[in-house]
A and B are shown apart, each in its own frame.
Chain A
Amino acid sequence: MAVISIERMGLLSVFCVCLFFNSAFAVDRGNFKTCDQSSFCKRQRVLKPGQSPYRALLETLELSDSRLTLQLINDNNKVHLLLELYRLQGNMTRVKINELKPLKPRFEVPDVLIAEPPTEPLSVLSKDDNGIVLSLGAESQRLIVSARPFRLDIMEGPEVLLSLNSRGLLAFEHLHLRKDTQAQSDGAEVKESVDGDQQQDEGEKDEDGQSDKEEDGLWEETFKSHTDTKPNGPTSISLDFSLPGVEHVYGIPEHADDLKLKTTDGGDPYRLYNLDVFQYELYNPMALYGSIPVMLAHNTQRTMGIFWLNAAETWVDISSNTAGKTVFGKMLDFVQGSSEKPQTDIRWISESGIIDVFIMLGPKPSDVFSQYASLTGTQSFPPLASLGYHQCRWNYNDQEDVKSVDQGFDQHDIPYDFIWLDIEHADGKRYFTWDPHKFSQPKEMLQGLMDKRRKMVAIVDPHIKVDSGYKIHSEITSKDFYVKNKDGRNYEGWCWPGNSGYPDFTIPEMRAWWASMFAYDQYEGSMENLFTWNDMNEPSVFNGPEVTMHKDALHGKWEHREIHNIYGLYVQMATAEGQIQRSGGVERPFVLTRAFFAGSQRFGAVWTGDNAAEWGHLKISIPMCLSLGLVGVSFCGADIGGFFKNPSTELLVRWYQTGAYQPFFRAHAHLDTTRREPWLFGPENTALIREVIRQRYALLPYWYQLFFQAYRTGMPVMRPLWVDYPKDTATFTIDDEFLIGSDLLVHPVTEEGSRGVTAYLPGAGEVWYDVHTFQKHNGAQNLYIPVTLSSIPVFQRGGSIIPRKDRVRRSSACMENDPYTLYVALSPKKFAEGKLYIDDGHSFNYDAKKEFIHRSLTFANNALTSSNLCPDCNFLTSSWIEKVIILGASKPSKVVLKMDGKETPVDFEFDSSMSVLTLRKPGMNAGDDWTLLLQ
C-alpha cells in the first residue's frame, strides 16, 4: 500500500507527500527518473554500437578444469579487466567480468544463488592469435572468444545462438580517485567507458573536478531536492547481447506492460529499480516494486535465458531488426528472400557491481526453467490454505469488524482461508504490536478464526518507528542493526509511523534477530494461524529520492546503491525464516512481499502492488503475473477489485473470475474505498462471486499439485501458452489468456460489457473441453465464446486428468478428508494422464519425512490406472475417489474396479449427447493402487 493518507500523517510528511497528488489517479512521472536523469544511464546510452575498445589478451589465458580466465584490456585507457568463464552443469555458461585490480573490491551479490553452481569441464578446441574455441561439452556447442575486438559467441553446430559484445557495448567504469585528490589526472578515465561525445576535456581543464559533477554527475548528482554523494565516483557497467533468429523476448519484471517485451529504441529502457510507485501507469517501462534481472528469448527452435546478477539500479535496452516491420513487410522479405535474419539485441546497464551473467541455453522452455531454478531455487511450496481465498482490506477496523466479516462469509456460504490486517492493526504503526483499543485481545480473535479452521495475516513492514519506548526500535538500536546514512549515523526516513529507521537486512545477524522476533513469546498476541505480509520493502521512504532510500546510505561498508534491489528479498527471507523457526522448523511459512529480486520465489508470494479499480489494471494482471512466472515467481496475484478507487460491480465480479484462476487469490482495497466484501452487491452478484470462489476451492488439489511441481522443477504454475506450445508462433504474443499447468486454459473476460471473447485454443490435432459444459473444441483455432456475467471461459486439455474436490466447504482445512472427483479429459487417441499429490497441507514433513502421496493417473486402453510415483513415501489419507468423470468417452457395457486382485463392478451413467461417462462412487482410497476397466 503506497498511498498516503494526509489525514493520518504528520505535517512534514504531508508536505513531501503532497507532491504525489498533482494529478489524481496517475503516476506523477516527475517523481521518478528517466534514463536521462540517471547519470550513468545517460552516460552509457550515449555510447553507440561500434568497434569495442576491448581486446582479449590471449597470452593471459588460464584454464583449470572448469574455469577459464583471461585478461581484457581497454585500448583507450589501458585498464585491465578479468574475464572468467564457467561451463555450468545443466547447459549453462557463466560469464564474469571484473576489474583485474580494482581500487577496492566491487560488490558481488550474495544470497541469491542457492549454492556455488556446479561446473563442468571446459576444453580448448583450438587457439590462434585471433581467438580461442572452447568446447561446451554436449550438443556440439562451442564458445568462441575473439581477441580483437573482444567478443564472445556461443554456437551450436553452424548456428550462432548468442553473442556478447558483438556490438561493442561492453563498458566498465573502473574505480578511480577523484581528480581533485589525484594529481596525475588521467583524461582517458571516463572515455574508457563512454565515447568521445563526452566533454572530457572540460573535466581536465577544471582542476577542482567541478565539471565532473556538473556535466556528468560522475561524483555527485542531484534529482529533485536529493543529492546523491558518490564517494566512489562513476562505477557503471554495461554489456550487449545479440540473439540471432530471436524475435520474442520476455521477463525482466516488474513492469506494467505486455508479456512480450517491446523494443526500447526512441524511448527509455526497461528499468529495474525497486520503487514504491504511487498509482502506476500501464504499458510503459518504468520501474515498479520488484526486479528480476532475467530475460527469456524464444523462437520455434529454442528457448534461452540471460540472468544478469546485479542488484544495483539497472536498465535494459532492447532493439530488433524486425521491430519496425509490419507482418506484410516480413512476408515480403520472406517471399523475396531478401530478409536478413531476424535478430534481437539486448543491452544491460547497471550502476555498479560487476558483470556476472548466466546464460541458460535451454533448449526447451522447461530446460530454461530448471536451469534458472538450479541457480536461484524454486518456488517455496506454500501451505495449502494459502492457495485458497484471501480477504484483505486496509483496514479491518477492529476485532468486532474481523468477527463480522468472518461471519459474513458463513452467512453467505462463501469459503475463505485468510483474513488480513493492514497497518492500522498495530499500535501506532509499530509492527509486532496491536492497537490497544481496536485489537486488545488478538489471541481471542485468532482463536475465533482457528475455531473455524481459518487463518490471519498481519502486516509487518521494515520501517521501524523511531521511538525509544518501542522494543523493536530500541533493540535494533542497541544491536546497531540500522542502515546508516553517509555520515555513519542511523539512517532515518519518513514512512507510515513518521520518522523511521530501516533495519539493515543485509546483515545475517540482523536477519537472525528479526526472525527471532516472530517467536510466539516475542511477538505478543501471535498464534500459529497468524502469518505475515511484508509491504513497503523496496524500501519505501516517503521523503527519500524516488520515494526510496538514498543511494549513499550505508550497509556496513557497502553503499545502498549496490544492494538496493535485493533489500526486499532479505526482508521476506528473514520473515519467512522467523515463521519456520517459531514452529521449530515444522511448519511451512506464508509471507507475502511487494518488493522482490531473483531468488525471492524461495520465500513466499508476491503481488503486483497498488493497482487501481480499472479494467486496464485487471487486464494487465495477466501479463504481469505471467512475466513473473517465467522467471521463477509462480506465487503471484493482483489485488482483486483494484486497490485504489471503487470498482463497478461488473469489474469486481470479472476480477474475482480472473483472480480465482491466478495463483495468489486475494481481494484488497484502499482505506478510502467503500466496503466491498463479496456480499455487498446484491444477491445475484454475491452468487456470482460465491460460484467462482467455489470453483477455485474445487480446483485446489490441482493448484496444490502444480505448486508441488513448481517447487520440484521450477515449472511455472501460471504460464504463457508458448511454454507448452513452443513451436506455435500464434501463441508467442498471447497475454490475454494463459495456462494453469499444462491442462487448464483460461481466457478471462477483462472487457467492460463484453458479450463474447475469442480464445485461442492451441495444439493442432488436440481437443479442449469446456470445463462448465464439457463441450469439446478442436485445438489450433480461434474460438468465439459468447459470454454472460457468469461466464469464465476455462478449458481442460484433452489428454489430461485433473483431480478436484467438488465438496466445497468453509475453508481448505475443512476439505482435508473430502473425496476426490477425477476429471478425465480424453485426447482424440483416447488417452489421458495426470497427477495427484496429497500431504498434510501445512508442514515440512513432505520433505523431512517423505510424508506425502504422489500418484500418476493414466487413462489408456480403456483403463484408468493409479500408480505410485513415490513408493518409499509414507502418508495416509482419508480421502477417497467418489466420482470419475470421463470426457470424450464412449459408452462401456460395464465398468470394473480392479484392486488388491479383486474385481468389483462400478455403477456408471453415460450422457451420449456430450459423451460424458460418470463412474459412480468407485470408492477407493486416494492413496491406493487401482485400475478402473471400461469394458
Chain B
Amino acid sequence: MTCVHLLLTLVFAVSLGTPVEIQGPRGVPLTKKQFYVENKPFTCLDGSRTIPFDRVNDDYCDCKDGSDEPGTAACPNGSFHCTNAGYRTMFIPSSRINDGICDCCDTTDEYNSGAKCENTCKELGRKEREVLQKMTEITKEGFLLKQHLIEEAKKGHQEKQIKVTDMQENKKQLDEKVEVLRTVKETAEQPEKEAKERHLKAWEEQKAAIRLEKDKAKMAEAFLELDDNADGFVSVSELQSHAELDADADGTLTETEAQGLMGGAEQVDMSTFESVWPNIKDKYHSEVSREEADMSCLVSSEVPFGPHRWLVQLPSEAFYRYVTEKYSCTSYVSSSCSLFPYANPTVLWFTAAQKARDDFEEAEKALREMDDQIRNIEKELSFDFGPDAEFTYLYSQCYELTTGEYIYRLCPFNRVSQKPKYGGSETNLGTWGSWSGPENNKYLLMKYEHGTGCWQGPNRSTTVKLTCGKETVVTSTSEPSRCEYLMEFTTPAVCQEPANTDLSPHDHVEL
C-alpha cells in the first residue's frame, strides 16, 4: 500500500469545485485505464480470474488483489486513485472511499457518503507550489553556503594537518630536551639526597639527646615531688603514696611492691633514683599537671619528619607550611620542634637540584601541552564531518533554543544539554555518539547517547534531525518518548544541490 496521502491533513481551505471528468471506471489511474475496457470481460490485474465487466466496481470484491473494485470500498486491499487536478494525484486505500471523510482534494472519494467535501486542490496546489518555491530558494542559498563551508573546511583541514606535522616535529625536539633535563636533574639531586640523609641522621641524634634531656628533667622533678619530707631521699612509704604505680592492679601499692620497684632498697637518693625511674616512669602521674609540650607533634606518628618521602618531594617552603599548619607548631623552628638549619653547602646543593627539577618539570609540562594539542587536532581531524567535511564548522560551536521551561543547548559532536530557565542544574541529554540517518544518507540524523540516567528508566539520549536551512539554528525540541529527546536543527550543510524542479501543476507523482 502506498502512503502518498501524507499531506492530506492540510485539506481545509476553500476553493470552488472544478468539474471532475471521470474516464473509465471510477478510481482507475490513467496508466491502468487500458485494462478496464467497457463491456469486455475484466481479468484481475494479478491474473487470478476473469469476470464480466459489470462486476467491476459493483461493490463486491471478486479479485484477490482488489483490482475489480478500484472505485468502491469492497476490497480490503484495493486502492483508489484521485486525479486531484490542480494538485498532486494520489492513491488512497479503498477503505477511505465513502467513509464520510474527505481524503481527495477533488472530493472524488466521497461520492456516496453524504460528506460535504469541497474541492481544495487549487488552493493546495498553490500552497504547495509556494512552499516548494520557498524550499527551492532556501535550498539554493543553503547549497551555496554549503559550498563555502566545504571550502573553509578543506582549508582548515589542510592547515590543521600542516600544523600537526609541525607540532610533531617540535614534539620530537621537546622529547629530546626532556630527556636531557631529566639526566641533569638526576645528577643534581644526588648530592642533595646525600645531604638530606646526613642532615636527617644528625637531627635524629639530636632529637634523641633532647628526649634524654627531657627525661632527666622529668625524673628530677619526680624525685622532688616524691621526696615529701625533702630529706633528699625517696622512701618506700613516699613511693606508696602513688597508687598508680601498683603493679598487680589491685588498687593499692603495697610496701613489698614499692620496695620491689625501688630495687629492694628502703630509700634512694637522687642518683640511685636514676635506676628506679625506668621502673616507674611509664605509670608515674605527676601531681602537677603539666602542659604537654609541643613535643607532641614530634611524637605523633603522622609527623612527616624523619625519612619521609614528602621531605624530598615538597619544595621546602611548602613543606614548612605543611608542617606548621598541620601540626600546629607555632613555627617550624620552635623551641621544641627545632630542626636545625642546614649547613650552607647543603643549601647550595638544594638550590642546584631545585633548579634542575624546575627546568625538567617545565620542559615536561611543555611536552604534555604539545601532546594535548596534537591529540585535540588529531581528534578533530578524525571526526566524520560529512562526505565533503561540510559539518566541520559545527565543531566546538554550541547552539541554544529557549522554550517555556528550559534552555536546550546543542554542541555538535560534543553534547546536548538542558537547563531550567529559572535556575537549577544542567542535565546531560547525551554525548556525541554517531551519525544515524538512513542508509542512503546517514548525515541527516545525529545521535547523542549516555546522558544523565532517568529514574527507573534509560539514560537520556537525543536524536538531532538535520534539515536544510540558510541559518544554523535549533528550531525545536521534544521528548517523544521518556528521556529520548528529538531536536530539529537546520544547517546549510545538508542542503542538496537543487534539481531543476518543474512546478507545473500537471506534474504527477504517480506510483
A interface residue numbers (CB < 8 A to B): 5-7, 24, 397, 400-401, 403, 407, 410-411, 413, 437, 448, 451-453, 671-675, 694, 806-810, 813-819, 882-883, 920-921
Q: Is the CB of B484 within 8 A of A413?
A: no
Instruction: Give the chain A neighbours of B58 by CB distance below 8 A.
Output: 921
How far is B484's CA from A675's CA once the two chains are assembled, in angstroms?
9
* Residue of B1, B101, B113 contacting most chain A CB atoms (<10 Å): B101
Closest to A644 in B: B456
Closest to A8 in B: B455
Q: Which of B5, B60, B482 interacts with A920 by CB under 8 Å?
A: B60
Q: Indicate whether A672 sits within 8 Å of B100 (C-beta atoms), given known contacts A397-B478, A810-B95.
A: no
A-B residue pairs in contact (CB < 8 Å), sample of 12: A5-B455, A397-B478, A413-B95, A453-B101, A807-B76, A809-B99, A810-B95, A813-B100, A815-B99, A818-B73, A921-B58, A921-B59
Nearest 6 interchain pairs by C-beta = A814-B99, A675-B481, A672-B457, A921-B60, A809-B95, A674-B481
Instruction: Give the chain B neighbours of A808 by CB distance below 8 A.
Output: 76, 95
Instruction: Give the chain B neighbours of A6 by CB distance below 8 A.
Output: 455
Q: Is the CB of A401 within 8 A of B101?
A: no
How far is B478's CA from A920's CA once the two chains are assembled, in angstroms?
52
Give the size range of B's interface with the partner: 20 to 34
Q: Is the CB of A809 within 8 A of B455?
A: no
How many residue pairs link A and B with beta carbons under 8 A? The number is 80
Q: Indicate whether A882 sits within 8 Å of B482 (C-beta atoms), given known contacts A5-B455, A672-B456.
A: no
Q: Indicate whether A7 sits within 8 Å of B99 (C-beta atoms), given known contacts A407-B9, A413-B93, A675-B480.
A: no
How far is B457's CA from A411's CA once the two chains are assembled, in angstroms?
30
How far is B62's CA from A426's CA once the two chains are assembled, in angstroms?
50
Q: Is the CB of B76 within 8 A of A806?
A: yes
| B contacts with A: majority SS | loop
Instruction: Give the chain B neighbours of A401 by CB distance below 8 A.
Output: 478, 480
Closest to A401 in B: B480
Q: How far is the CB of A4 from chain B (nearest CB, A)?
A: 10
Instruction: Give the chain B neighbours of A810 by CB distance below 8 A.
Output: 95-96, 99, 101
Q: How far is the CB of B57 from chain A (nearest CB, A)?
A: 13
| A contacts with B: majority SS | loop
Q: Is the CB of B484 within 8 A of A674?
A: yes
Q: Is the CB of B60 within 8 A of A397?
A: no
Instruction: Give the chain B neighbours of A809 by CB distance below 8 A.
Output: 73, 95-96, 99
Instruction: Give the chain B neighbours of A807 by CB distance below 8 A.
Output: 73-74, 76, 95
Asked if B288 is an interface residue, CB under 8 A from chain A, the answer is no
Q: Which of A448, A671, A883 interacts with B482 by CB under 8 Å?
A: A671
Q: How far is the CB of A882 from chain B (nearest CB, A)?
A: 6
Closest to B457 in A: A672
Asked if B454 is an interface residue, CB under 8 A from chain A, the answer is yes
Q: Indicate whether A397 sits within 8 Å of B480 (C-beta atoms), given known contacts A810-B96, A810-B99.
A: yes
How far is B101's CA from A815's CA once the two chains are assembled, in angstroms?
12
Can you list, as one digit per residue, whether each of B86-97 has a CB less than 8 Å from chain A (1) or not (0)? Answer: 000000010110
B residues 69-110 in Cβ contact with A at 8 Å:
73-74, 76, 93, 95-96, 98-101
Asked if B156 is an interface residue, CB under 8 A from chain A, the answer is no
Can you list, as one digit per residue, whether each of B2-15 has a CB less than 8 Å from chain A (1) or not (0)? Answer: 01011011000000
Instruction: Give the chain A neighbours of B76 by CB distance below 8 A.
Output: 694, 806-808
How far is B456's CA from A808's CA once the two chains are assembled, in angstroms?
39
Closest to A921 in B: B60
Q: Indicate whether A24 sits within 8 Å of B74 (C-beta atoms), given known contacts A674-B482, A808-B95, A882-B59.
A: no
Instruction: Give the chain B neighbours of A407 by CB distance below 8 A.
Output: 6, 9
How far is B76's CA from A827's CA once the two chains are assembled, in angstroms?
29
Q: How far is the CB of B60 from chain A (nearest CB, A)?
A: 4
Instruction: Give the chain B neighbours of A671 by CB distance below 8 A.
Output: 482
Q: How far is the CB of A371 from chain B (nearest CB, A)?
A: 43
Instruction: Give the chain B neighbours of A883 by CB distance below 8 A.
Output: 60
Closest to B58 in A: A921
How far is B457's CA from A674's CA once the two chains are assembled, in angstroms?
9
Q: Is the CB of A397 within 8 A of B479?
A: yes
Instruction: Give the chain A neighbours of B5 by CB distance below 8 A.
Output: 410-411
Q: How far is the CB of B286 from chain A (nearest CB, A)?
A: 56
Q: Indicate whether A411 sits within 8 Å of B3 (C-beta atoms), given known contacts A401-B480, A453-B101.
A: yes
Q: Is the CB of B95 within 8 A of A437?
A: no
Q: How far is the CB of B304 from chain A (nearest CB, A)?
A: 46
Q: How far is the CB of B31 from chain A (nearest CB, A)?
A: 23
Q: How far is the CB of B414 from chain A (nearest CB, A)?
A: 25
9 extra interface residue pairs, beta carbon distance < 8 Å, beyond A410-B8, A453-B101: A410-B5, A413-B1, A453-B100, A672-B456, A675-B480, A809-B73, A810-B99, A810-B101, A883-B60
Q: Is the CB of B60 within 8 A of A882?
A: yes
Can you list, as one digit per residue, whether each of B457-489 has a CB less than 8 Å from chain A (1) or not (0)? Answer: 110000000000000000000111111100000
Q: Is the CB of A24 within 8 A of B456?
A: yes
Asked if B341 is an interface residue, CB under 8 A from chain A, the answer is no
Instruction: Give the chain A neighbours of B484 by CB distance below 8 A.
Output: 674-675
How far is B73's CA from A893's CA once the two chains are assembled, in angstroms?
31
Instruction: Give the chain B neighbours of A452 by CB distance below 8 A.
Output: 101
Instruction: Give the chain B neighbours of A672 by CB distance below 8 A.
Output: 454-457, 482-483
Closest to A815 in B: B99
How far is B482's CA from A183's CA once the two chains are assembled, in angstroms?
64
B residues 2-47 in Cβ contact with A at 8 Å:
3, 5-6, 8-9
Instruction: Give the chain A neighbours of B8 by CB distance below 8 A.
Output: 410
Instruction: Give the chain A neighbours of B480 by CB distance below 8 A.
Output: 397, 401, 675
Q: How far is the CB of A416 from chain B (nearest CB, A)?
A: 13
Q: Is the CB of B6 within 8 A of A814?
A: no
Instruction: Give the chain A neighbours of B59 by CB distance below 8 A.
Output: 819, 882, 921
Q: How far is the CB of B501 from chain A (nearest CB, A)?
A: 25
Closest to A394 in B: B482
Closest to A436 in B: B404
Q: How far is the CB of A803 from chain B (nearest CB, A)?
A: 17
Q: Is the CB of B100 within 8 A of A882?
A: no
Instruction: Give the chain A neighbours of B98 by CB distance below 8 A.
Output: 817
How far is B3's CA from A411's CA once the two chains are assembled, in angstroms?
6
Q: How far is the CB of B462 from chain A (nearest CB, A)?
A: 14
Q: How far is the CB of A808 from chain B (nearest CB, A)?
A: 6
How far is B4's CA from A411's CA once the two chains are assembled, in angstroms?
9
Q: How far is the CB of B451 from chain A (nearest CB, A)?
A: 14
How far is B73's CA from A289's CA once the two chains are assembled, in angstroms?
44
How far is B69's CA from A806's CA once the two chains are assembled, in angstroms?
15
How far is B5's CA from A921's CA once the two chains are assembled, in angstroms?
31
Instruction: Give the chain A neighbours of B455 by CB distance below 8 A.
Output: 5-7, 672
Q: Is the CB of A411 within 8 A of B6?
A: yes
Instruction: Give the chain A neighbours of B74 by CB distance below 8 A.
Output: 807, 882
Q: How far is the CB of B273 from chain A (nearest CB, A)?
A: 69
Closest to B479 in A: A397
Q: Indicate whether A437 sits within 8 Å of B404 (C-beta atoms), given known contacts A674-B458, A814-B100.
A: yes
Q: How far is the CB of A512 from chain B (nearest CB, A)?
A: 36
Q: How far is the CB of A839 from chain B (nearest CB, A)?
A: 18
Q: How far is the CB of B382 from chain A (nearest CB, A)?
A: 32
Closest to A645 in B: B456
Q: How far is the CB of A220 from chain B (nearest CB, A)?
A: 37
* Residue of B76, B96, B482 contacting most chain A CB atoms (<10 Å): B482
How far is B481's CA from A816's CA once the two chains are assembled, in angstroms?
35
How far is B76's CA from A882's CA once the two chains are assembled, in angstroms?
14
Q: Indicate whether A673 sits within 8 Å of B482 (C-beta atoms), given known contacts A806-B76, A807-B73.
A: yes
Q: How far is the CB of A435 from chain B (nearest CB, A)?
A: 10
How far is B54's CA from A921's CA once the two chains are assembled, in angstroms?
13
How far is B97's CA from A818's CA once the two chains are assembled, in angstroms?
11
Instruction: Give the chain A neighbours of B9 by CB distance below 8 A.
Output: 403, 407, 448
Closest to B112 in A: A817
Instruction: Give the chain A neighbours of B454 by CB distance below 8 A.
Output: 672
How far is B457's CA from A24's CA once the two chains are assembled, in angstroms?
12
Closest to B9 in A: A407
Instruction: Give the chain B neighbours of A413 by CB distance below 8 A.
Output: 1, 93, 95
Instruction: Give the chain B neighbours of A675 by CB distance below 8 A.
Output: 480-481, 484
How far is B3's CA from A410's CA once the two chains are assembled, in angstroms?
9
How far is B95's CA from A7's CA once the two chains are assembled, in angstroms?
45
Q: Is the CB of B101 within 8 A of A451?
A: yes
